[in-house]
Amino acid sequence: MPCPTFETLIDFADNQLTPEAASSVETHVGTGCASCRTTIDWFSGFAAAASTDLVEPPVWLTRKAVALFAQRQKEGIVSKLSRLVASLAFDSLAGSASPDFVPARSAAVGGRQLLFTASPFDVDLLVSPGDAPRTVAVSGQVLATDSVEFAIVSGLEVEFIRDEKKVASAVTSDFGEFSVDSIAPGCYDVRISDNTREIVLSGAPIEIR
């Protein structure tokens, strides 16, 4: 009897042959054909490894996923993983950039109200004359539009940066409120951050024209 085909030997090892065909292969191998015996043994080893793989991938993937998740968390804490660049949605001196936005606070008298959005946050700024001559005071509030994020608005550092220098800073209250006083009027980058994210109000017009 000639050697069975490779496919037949594989099917034999995989118990996919009819009893008659399997019996034929058994007879052939029983005659001492080393080549066919090697093929069958190879496949048996491969099948065992493959069946192990079939069990292992979920475990392996789970471990990898856990490791990746841990790494991401670590990176998120070490670096500012989430950076939100806010856009100006309302300026009481310029008119609303979008008529859909209703300011969270009533319009200030003698001041300037700015509303920045960086979903899921809104940042409300009220610019008013400062205590010292030719200065302005800013009070503001970080509002979470998504209730899930609400807790995050407290304890955020708020930095007023001008010409790459930190001019003033504050920390938000439990309600996301903050204020600074007596800073020079001008365009500021307002950076609001904690360990995991930062919201940047780029070029905020902290001045009353």
Binding positions for Zn ion, rule: CB under 5 A: 3, 33, 36
Residue with tokens 């069990």: 55
List of residues 6+ apart from 80 with CB closer than 8 A: 193, 196, 197, 198
Cα first-last separation, the chain: 101
Residue 168's alpha-carbon distances to 85, 90, 157, 160, 188, in angstroms, are 20, 23, 11, 5, 10
Based on CB atoms, which residue is closest to Zn ion, 36 or 183?
36
Based on CB atoms, which residue is closest to Zn ion, 7 or 164?
7
Based on CB atoms, which residue is closest to Zn ion, 36 or 126?
36
Based on CB atoms, which residue is closest to Zn ion, 36 or 170?
36
Residue with tokens 């008529």: 99
**Smallest distance from the beta carbon of 60 to Zn ion, in angstroms?**
37
**Smallest distance from the beta carbon of 20 to Zn ion, in angstroms?**
18
**Smallest distance from the beta carbon of 37 to Zn ion, in angstroms?**
8
Say how far apart CA 12 and CA 27 lie, in whole Å: 12
204 CA to centre of own chain: 26
**Smallest distance from the beta carbon of 4 to Zn ion, in angstroms?**
7
Based on CB atoms, which residue is closest to Zn ion, 40 or 118?
40
**Smallest distance from the beta carbon of 50 to Zn ion, in angstroms?**
24
